[in-house]
Amino acid sequence: MYPTLGCILEQTVQRYPDREALVDVMKKRRWTYSEWNQEVNQLANALNHAGVKKGDVVSTCLYNRSELVTILFACAKIGAIFNPINFRLKSEEIAYIIQDAKPRVFIFEQAVEEEILPVFYQFPMTLFWSVDFTHCNWAQSYHELLSQAPSFSPHVDVKEDDIYAVMYTSGTTGRPKGVMHRHRDMIEQSYILAHALQLSAEDRGLCAGPLYHCAELHCMFVPRVHLGATNVLIHHFDPRLVLQTIQDEKISVMFGAPTMWNMMLQEDLSLYHLSTLRIGLYGAAPMPAILIHECKEKLGLKLVQAYGMTEMGPAVTLLYDHEQLTRIGSAGKACLNHEVRIVRPKGDPTDVLKPGEIGEIIVKGPCLMAGYYNKHIATEKAIRNGWYYSGDLGYLDEEGYLYIADRADDMIISGGENIYPREVEEVLCEHPAVLDVAVVGKKDKHWGQKVIAYVVKKDTYLTDKELDRFCCESHKLSSYKRPREYIFVDQLPRNASGKVQKFVLKTS
């Protein structure tokens, strides 16, 4: 019998009632595990009083703040389904999710009120709660309802195989799908990441990435609660605030997409004392070698890379610190209790390719989703014989290390040749004046597709001619793979996990 997410909080409270559980930097508030659990119980009872029953959906549209994680565990205790929504979405996108998930309660903050108000009128059967203390005359007050609720532990029979959350995919290719995860899935994920990162109750973790996304939530936050460590929340990512918080709160572990680590390294690090930071987890994309070197030299931390997807909880493979430089470009080996295979695209799980051959990455493990919410056909396409078909292309080497080539949808075919955008991006990232880059294919009358590079530059004097010369002189890139056009942009469109939304670039 596995514990549920509600159970792991109760167990941690029993072990460490007076240990600091949460720090909300924006609110300048702190909670011990005992204090936080009391607030979780109050919210669970307030939700019950509002008519939320086991199996009902509770949606949120919140930045990183204490209410978000309190809602998660309150839902877990009463068997409600937690549905955290990306705070960057617009009204139409939010309405799409509400129409699909049909939440009983929708909880939001003032920062997103402009997008929520049009949605409010479309869904009269959903209760809207605001977490801000400022007056909102069309939504109920979260904190008023909380203060009126009792703090006893709710008595609801929640089982390990019950759905804990519906997390909508971040949409790198189009409309999001709701990924259903069970309590047991996330307990397994917590075990794996706690072991991989060597976490302990003594750790102090910073939540700098968005908590509505499974990378920050499941790979870092939940394992730390499981162990009784401290979680420090900043409202949203800001490199200077991150560095200041690492210093002030003596942060030891944190997650960041490569672009986040890169932004931190652009600041004057001599202004901060960062010696407590020991482990940095990263994902969404591999780190260029130059960025790995800089993280180690300037921040003095150990790095661990996780590759995965929402459908798997998310972590599927891990690349440990001692492998970062000897296995540059690799996503590591399969996590504990997981298996990775490379098969012909859409092929049978037994149609396994040889080491070095590029094919579709399929994965299997105990954190596999229960399916897509309200989408049985999509579920059947994605999961076959217990294997999840990722849509990513890659290969395994002789020793079982995984290398990601690209998304199947992103591969460029120019003049009959397959070009993987990632290898072009890796070369361009080596140019000292390039801050960020994304490569896509666009239609070309002569070649079928041509390679286009969108570049964010550090140096305003960088030109397309300089980049073309750099690619021509590189020994890592064949001539036919180099970009035929360079477009300079202020920033790249990214989703919550830091992945570039290439479908936006392709249609721009």
**pLDDT score at 501:** 83
Task: State the average pLDDT over residues 79-84.
Answer: 98
The one-letter amino acid code at 78 reads I
What pLDDT is attached to residue 422?
80
Residue 171: what pLDDT? 52
Q: Residue 418 and residue 273: Cα distance in Å, rounded? A: 47
Per the CB < 8 A criterion, the answer to whether 193 and 365 are in contact is no
* Predicted local confidence at residue 174, as pLDDT: 56
Q: Does residue 497 carry a pLDDT above 70?
A: no
- Reported as a single tens digit per residue, the pLDDT across 327-366 is 988 999 999 999 999 999 878 999 999 999 999 999 999 9
pLDDT in tens, 12-22: 999 999 999 99
* pLDDT tens-place string over residues 105-118: 999 999 999 999 99
The pLDDT assigned to 172 comes to 46
pLDDT at 508 over 90: no
Whether a cis peptide bond, with omega within 30° of 0, leads into 314 is yes
Residues in the chain, overall count: 508
Cβ neighbors of 68 (< 8 A, separation 6 or more) are 60, 62, 84, 211, 212
pLDDT beyond 80 at 134: no
| Residue 120, H or E segment | helix 113-120
Q: What's the CA angle centered on 93, arms 90 and 95, to 5 degrees?
A: 105
Task: Give the model confidence (pLDDT) of 285-309 as tens digits.
Answer: 778 888 899 999 999 999 999 999 9
Say yes or no to pLDDT of 394 above 60.
Answer: yes
- Asked if residue 245 has pLDDT above 80, the reply is yes
Q: What's the CATH code, domain 413-506?
A: 3.30.300.30
Instruction: Compute the average pLDDT of residues 1-19.
Output: 95
Cα–Cα–Cα angle for 355, 365, 167, nearest 5°?
115
User: DSSP labels for 172-227?
Assistant: SSSS--EEEEEHHHHHHHHHHHHHHTT--TT-EEEE-S-TTSHHHIIIIIHHHHHH
Question: pLDDT (tens digit, 9 = 90+) per residue, 159-181?
Answer: 999 999 999 986 544 578 999 99
pLDDT value at position 423?
Answer: 81
Tell me what the pLDDT averaged over the chain comes to. Answer: 92
Question: With pLDDT > 90 as the criterion, what percentage of the chain qualifies?
Answer: 77
What would the pLDDT profile of 210-219 be if each residue is shown by its tens digit? 999 999 999 9
Q: How far apart are CA 79 and CA 65, in angstroms?
A: 22
Full DSSP string of 230-288? EEEE-SS--HHHHHHHHHHHT--EEE--HHHHHHHHTS-GGGS--TT--EEEE-SSPPP
What crossing angle do the helices spanning 113-120 and 91-101 adopt, rounded to 10°?
50
Q: What is the residue whose two structure tokens read 């990512």?
A: 237
Numbered ranges of CATH 3.30.300.30 in the chain: 413-506
Question: Where along the chain do the CATH 3.40.50.12780 domains lie?
Answer: 5-396
Question: Per CATH, the architecture of 5-396 is what?
Answer: 3-Layer(aba) Sandwich (3.40)
- The span from the CA of 74 to the CA of 413, in Å, is 49
pLDDT at 252 over 60: yes
